């Protein structure tokens, strides 16, 4: 369908390639670009090009970075005996936000998902194992999502890492803060019960 002139259709198509954007939303977005003043629009275009150009993956932890080694890996004050393994840079940001964790990170760049044809060789697991070579690291926290893929990845990693004599842990399961017991799903409730603690 080609309701609009070509350059506008092209822009609409581009917006549709973003996650969660359907045709009507893409049309609204494209029009909002036309409504911007020229400077803002070019700045938008440049922000995309620049982000793509300058953002690389940290050589150590694979997190996104604008330098070869990211600020977290460079930071001498961080605890080098713990590595928190996550799916993507978004989870690094979430954990950094709570200002509670002072160790290092490792970004896998995905989760094991046979259904999507993603095997362990597609993830940055080799790079993780190579970081465990000397005796610095004492614990690997596997902080993947509590989904089927997250579980599978966590199991795979623990089988790989435990033989190296390094403690492998997983984030706690349970009721989310502010959640209601009444509406918790069965698996969550089962795990909250199973993981109960003395108070």
| Distance between CA atoms of residues 138 and 165, nearest Å | 8
φ, ψ (nearest 5 deg) of residue 167: -65, 130
Instruction: Based on the shown chain and the rule CB under 8 A, indicate whether residue 42 belongs to the binding site for its own copies.
Output: yes
Characterize the bridge pairing of strands 82-86 and 104-107.
parallel
Number of residues lying near its own copies (CB under 8 A): 50
Instruction: Based on the shown chain and the rule CB under 8 A, indicate whether residue 8 belongs to the binding site for its own copies.
Output: yes
Structure tokens at 130: 């190579």
Residues 52-71 that bind its own copies (CB under 8 A): 52, 54-55, 64-66
Instruction: Based on the shown chain and the rule CB under 8 A, indicate whether residue 14 belongs to the binding site for its own copies.
Output: yes
Of 65 and 137, the one with the shorter C-beta distance to its own copies is 65
Characterize the bridge pairing of strands 139-142 and 82-86.
parallel
Instruction: Report, in Å, the least distance between residue 15 CB and its own copies.
Output: 8
Tell me the CB-side half-sphere exposure of residue 157, using CA atoms within 13 A.
Answer: 35
Instruction: Report, in Å, the least distance between residue 159 CB and its own copies.
Output: 28
Instruction: Based on the shown chain and the rule CB under 8 A, indicate whether residue 155 belongs to the binding site for its own copies.
Output: no
């Amino acid at each position: 369908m080609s309701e609009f002139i070509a350059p506008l259709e092209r822009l609409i198509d581009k917006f549709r390639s973003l996650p969660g954007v359907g045709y009507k939303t893409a049309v609204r977005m494209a029009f909002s670009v036309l409504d911007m003043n020229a400077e803002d629009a070019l700045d938008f275009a440049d922000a995309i090009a620049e982000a793509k150009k300058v953002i690389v993956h940290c050589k150590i932890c694979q997190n996104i970075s604008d330098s070869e080694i990211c600020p977290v890996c460079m930071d001498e004050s961080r605890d080098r005996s713990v590595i928190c393994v996550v799916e993507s840079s978004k989870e690094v940001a979430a954990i950094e936000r709570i200002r509670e964790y002072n160790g290092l990170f490792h970004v896998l760049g995905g989760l094991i998902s046979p259904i999507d044809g993603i095997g362990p060789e597609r993830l940055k697991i080799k790079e993780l194992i190579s970081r465990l070579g000397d005796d610095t690291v004492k614990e690997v926290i596997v902080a993947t999502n509590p989904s089927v893929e997250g579980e599978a990845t966590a199991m795979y990693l623990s089988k790989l890492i435990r033989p190296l004599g390094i403690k492998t842990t997983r984030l706690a399961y349970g009721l989310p803060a502010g959640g209601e017991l009444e509406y918790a799903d069965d698996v969550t409730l089962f795990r909250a019960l199973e993981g109960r603690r003395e108070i």
